[in-house]
Structure 1
Amino acid sequence: MLEATEVAVEFASRGRRARAVDGVNLSIGAGEIVALVGESGCGKTTLARTLLGLERPTSGQVSYDGTPLSYTGRRLRAFRRQVQLVLQDPMGSLNPRQTVYEAVAEGPRIHGLPDEEEVVASALSRAGLRPPERFFLRYPHELSGGQRQRVVIAGALALSPKLLIADEPVASLDASVRGEILALLLRLRDELGLAALVVTHDLGLAWNIADRVAVMYLGRIVESGSTEEVLTNPQHPYTQALLSVLPESPQRIVLSGEPPDPTRIPTGCRFHPRCQLVAAGKGADACHTTPLPVLPPTTTGSEVACHLAQVPTPR
């Protein structure tokens, strides 16, 4: 359904160019949930915004249903009806002066959909706010955190999209509510055939909800594959370090330093300055000097960009 091909996004930064996204291939199939994971600052949100058409790629292209994304007003508007965004902070994304009805009705009004009240009621009901009429005249401050996130999801569902891009959809919620929102996303996938890209730093969330996982570091996908393959047998040292923070992990891997400045990408493997294997003296020459290829988009099998991984790196 949605595919990024060799997508790069650069921003001007103090006279230099910061490569926030640097040659990413990513595909999302119909009815599929893909988790995009990585630490803060790795480029996840910039990639999500680019997939939505909110940022234009410096190079590469985004395609929807096999057609390159057009940035003209009418075509972009039609595309955004099919692909909707769910933001991290529901209190920040809802207008405190708008009622729940007004918030959910905004999208249908922009797109000129008929039967507005019926559309709003149906969207709220699908998002788990029942009976929907009970919530029409409420304001965001009158709702719990979980209810506010359901309103945000209802606003996206009001346009009957085929794909949701959810940026840290449960990060601001209590643990007791997180499971409810994740269950809601899975139910929407089963009932509506809705696909989703879930942007998160939480590998536990990815394990519970995703069909496939793509691990991002410093603007690139460094490992991708089915959730079970990636999270039970990680090949990239970065993925191994991310998984080591989970309570059931037998060994804690502490990465040294911070992610490098995106205006000064390291030569060779971009992870080598922090890699625990390089620090132990394994394969240091290749990791310092030999560039790694961009991983191709894949819906089957695993791919990893690492000189020291046990599975072959794609060439």
Structure 2
Amino acid sequence: MTGAYAEGAAGPRKTEASGPLLAATGLRVTFPGRRGGPEVRAVDGVELAIGTGEIVALVGESGCGKSTLARALLGLLTPSAGSVAFAGEPLAYRARALRAYRRRVQLVLQDPSGSLNPRHTVYDAVAEGLRVHGVPGGRDERTAVARALARAGLRPPERFFGRYPHELSGGQRQRVVIAGALVLEPELIVADEPVASLDASVRGEILALLLRLRDELGLAALVVTHDLGLAWNIADRVAVMYLGRIVETGTVEEVLSAPRHPYTRALLSVLPGGGAEPVVLTGEPPDPARVPDGCRFHVRCPVLASGEAERAGVADACRTRDPAVLPAHGRDAACHWAAAAGREPDGRDGG
């Protein structure tokens, strides 16, 4: 059955549909402006695809639209334009269809303390989804809960059944949240800053768990994060988001070893041990209700400010022409300067 985990499965599973497991096409999410002002373009034209058993990191500054995009992909928001498809089937925004979809796609939130009801035991927290959707595979509830907790690394699972969130460490609470997602045997999880609230010593354990779930169960994941270091450690592909749009995409090695977009370079420059001179971006990201003309990054772009874009003959284009929306696959950057400079996918200047 599509969506069920096979015993002893290894490596990515195949879906019945060809193509990506989850795909967004021309996705836009807008909100009404304040006091009759211009609408807020929170997600402003996004193409994104996630394959079976693939981990994609969606990275960018706070307020760039990452969480709004994730909510739209989960069906928690209805897009203003564009579409979301799962296993080749367009997502329908009817209650019954969304209920079936959310069994196959689960959310893992950032703060386990806020995600767990302090009055519910671990058993009840994990069993909550089963009581809404039913127990998959014809198993009984207790067996399904124990199975999910064990997969999340809480063993023996029965030891945790009667505990409350305040009796657990931060890492254990996050594992309970992950178990609550796994109990329905989804095909994809959306993890929104899954380790941001954890101590550094625990983060590696949770990232290793996500990788193990991918390898053993073929579980796909969209990991929403502002941390490029996390993306390097866990992702197969990276999508860099700025002001509602993906501005660079490719494999993790391509994007993080040889970034093409000035925004990606700036984000990477401040990583500890990166070796590059830190790039300090001027000002705050523009208001998504007033997206600048031209390249939406040009008002903060160090390449334009330094005169490099002028020397490459693209300064006017940067200020007046919006780069095209990037395709869901492949290696690309929404940057006039990178295109004009003939920057190859390995980061070298072309001839």
TM-score of the superposed pair, with normalisation by structure 1: 0.97
Residue 257 (structure 1) aligned with residue 283 (structure 2): yes
User: Residue 10 of structure 1: SS of its match in structure 2?
Assistant: strand
Residue 266 (structure 1) aligned with residue 302 (structure 2): no
User: Residue 273 of structure 1: SS of its match in structure 2?
Assistant: helix
Deviations 1:148-193 (A, max 9, x none): 0000000000000000100000000000000000000000001100
The 5-angstrom pairing of residues 1-315 of structure 1 reads: 1-14=21-34, 15=36, 16-113=38-135, 114-249=139-274, 250-281=276-307, 282=309, 283-298=314-329, 301-309=330-338, 310-311=342-343
State the Cα distance separating 1:127 from its structure 2 match. Answer: 0.2
Taking the aligned partners of 2:337 and 2:88, their CA distance within structure 1 comes to 35
Taking the aligned partners of 1:80 and 1:127, their CA distance within structure 2 comes to 20
Deviates more, 1:208-217 or 1:104-113: 104-113
Taking the aligned partners of 1:43 and 1:96, their CA distance within structure 2 comes to 30
Taking the aligned partners of 2:168 and 2:96, their CA distance within structure 1 comes to 35
User: Residue 291 of structure 1: SS of its match in structure 2?
Assistant: coil
Deviations 1:231-289 (A, max 9, x none): 00000000000000112222110000000000100000000000001101223211001
Deviations 1:171-218 (A, max 9, x none): 000000000000000000011000000000000000000000000000
State the Cα distance separating 1:311 from its structure 2 match. Answer: 3.6
Taking the aligned partners of 2:112 and 2:204, their CA distance within structure 1 comes to 16
CA RMSD of aligned residues (A): 1.1
Deviations 1:117-143 (A, max 9, x none): 000000000000000011001000110
Taking the aligned partners of 1:64 and 1:260, their CA distance within structure 2 comes to 32
Amino acid at match of 2:94: T
Count residues with an aligned counterpart: 311
Taking the aligned partners of 2:316 and 2:33, their CA distance within structure 1 comes to 31
Taking the aligned partners of 1:236 and 1:128, their CA distance within structure 2 comes to 38
Unaligned runs of 5+ in 1: none
Amino acid at match of 2:287: D
Contact 1:304 1:311 survives alignment (8 Å): no
State the Cα distance separating 1:312 from its structure 2 match. Answer: 7.6
Taking the aligned partners of 2:155 and 2:92, their CA distance within structure 1 comes to 38
Taking the aligned partners of 2:87 and 2:157, their CA distance within structure 1 comes to 33
User: Residue 6 of structure 1: SS of its match in structure 2?
Assistant: strand
User: Residue 172 of structure 1: SS of its match in structure 2?
Assistant: coil
User: Residue 255 of structure 2: SS of its match in structure 1?
Assistant: helix
Contact 1:256 1:274 survives alignment (8 Å): yes
Taking the aligned partners of 1:62 and 1:21, their CA distance within structure 2 comes to 13
Unaligned runs of 5+ in 2: 1-20, 346-351
Deviations 1:33-68 (A, max 9, x none): 000000000000000000000000000000001111
Taking the aligned partners of 1:12 and 1:73, their CA distance within structure 2 comes to 24
Contact 1:84 1:161 survives alignment (8 Å): yes
Once the two structures are aligned, what percentage of the paired residues are identical? 72
Contact 1:91 1:148 survives alignment (8 Å): yes
Amino acid at match of 1:65: A
Taking the aligned partners of 1:129 and 1:247, their CA distance within structure 2 comes to 32
Taking the aligned partners of 1:278 and 1:205, their CA distance within structure 2 comes to 29
TM-score of the superposed pair, with normalisation by structure 2: 0.87
